[in-house]
């Protein structure tokens, strides 16, 4: 089980990273909006803690999308005028501030989904326009290994402390933007425009994560793990396909 935890998430992140190198930062961010971190974590929580705990954790992860999106817009707004490390600190501060505010929230999964949907619309409106710039085709090679190592660490750590934290805290923490931070920082090294396109792609991709987590939260205790994950993945795939049209349009506009 431990070996499976260590391998699964890094493989997923590596595939997304390689795809992003080929199609650009906007598409890379959009792919990173997939529940590549929370999905594996919820799967292991289902195996180790049972369907009720995993369903509650899925609702917590759905709430955590608000904190994740807060990081994205905070980093994007600050990276135009600050360095990557200042932007990272500002983004993390936004994530933890929103995460703390979410802890006492006890809405049902349906109402959390409505809240997340409206919040993502507002956040996309707040995104700064990426300045015109030429985008590089390749990312630094160490980036890929760093993402993969972070993926292993996050999944092993969060599943290990989940019983202590409880489902809501575990769910919110599973939305910590570890991979998003890495992708944003390496994109920022090529200019603010690249970082903004990446983070806007992530935010659009969060609609997929929201649908995936909603279906899991509602179905895990009723339909079992296999069918619930299949339904959630199918619903998420539909949303991801539709959101691709938006990402491609905004990426084309950014390139002029």
Domains held by the chain: number: 1
Instruction: Give residue 75's pLDDT.
Output: 95
pLDDT in tens, 32-88: 777 777 787 788 888 888 899 889 989 999 999 999 999 999 999 999 888 888 999
Looking at the whole model, is its pTM more than 0.85?
Answer: no
Average pLDDT over residues 217-222: 91
Scanning the chain, the segments in alpha helix (DSSP H) are 2-23, 25-32, 38-49, 51-79, 84-102, 109-126, 142-165, 167-174, 178-188, 192-223, 225-254
**197 lies in which domain range?**
2-254
Instruction: Give residue 76's pLDDT.
Output: 93
Instruction: Name the band, by pLDDT with cuts 50, 70 and 90, for residue 253.
Output: low
Residue 240, CB half-sphere, CA atoms under 13 Å: how many?
A: 19
Average pLDDT over residues 203-221: 92
Spell out the residues 6+ positions from residue 214 whose beta carbon is closer than 8 angstroms to its own.
62, 109, 110, 112, 113
């Amino acid at each position: 089980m431990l070996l499976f935890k260590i391998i699964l998430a890094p493989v997923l992140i590596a595939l997304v990273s390689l795809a992003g190198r080929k199609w650009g930062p906007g598409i890379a961010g959009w792919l990173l909006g997939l529940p590549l971190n929370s999905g594996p974590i919820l799967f292991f929580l289902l195996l180790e803690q049972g369907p009720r705990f995993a369903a509650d954790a899925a609702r917590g992860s759905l709430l955590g999308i608000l904190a994740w999106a807060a990081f994205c817009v905070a980093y994007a707004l600050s990276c135009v005028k600050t360095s990557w490390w200042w932007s990272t600190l500002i983004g993390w501060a936004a994530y933890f501030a929103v995460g703390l505010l979410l802890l006492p929230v006890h809405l049902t999964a349906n109402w959390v989904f409505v809240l997340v949907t409206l919040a993502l619309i507002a956040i996309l409106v707040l995104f700064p326009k990426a300045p015109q710039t030429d985008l590089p085709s390749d990312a630094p090679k160490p980036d890929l290994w760093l993402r993969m190592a972070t993926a292993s660490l996050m999944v092993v750590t969060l599943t290990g402390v989940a019983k202590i934290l409880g489902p809501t805290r575990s769910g919110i923490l599973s939305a910590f933007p570890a991979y998003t931070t890495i992708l944003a920082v390496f994109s920022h090294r090529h200019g603010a425009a690249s970082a903004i396109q990446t983070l806007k792609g992530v935010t659009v991709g969060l609609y997929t994560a929201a649908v995936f987590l909603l279906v899991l939260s509602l179905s895990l205790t009723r339909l079992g793990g296999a069918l619930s994950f299949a339904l959630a993945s199918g619903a998420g795939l539909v949303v991801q396909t539709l959101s691709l049209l938006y990402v491609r349009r905004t990426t084309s506009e950014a390139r002029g």
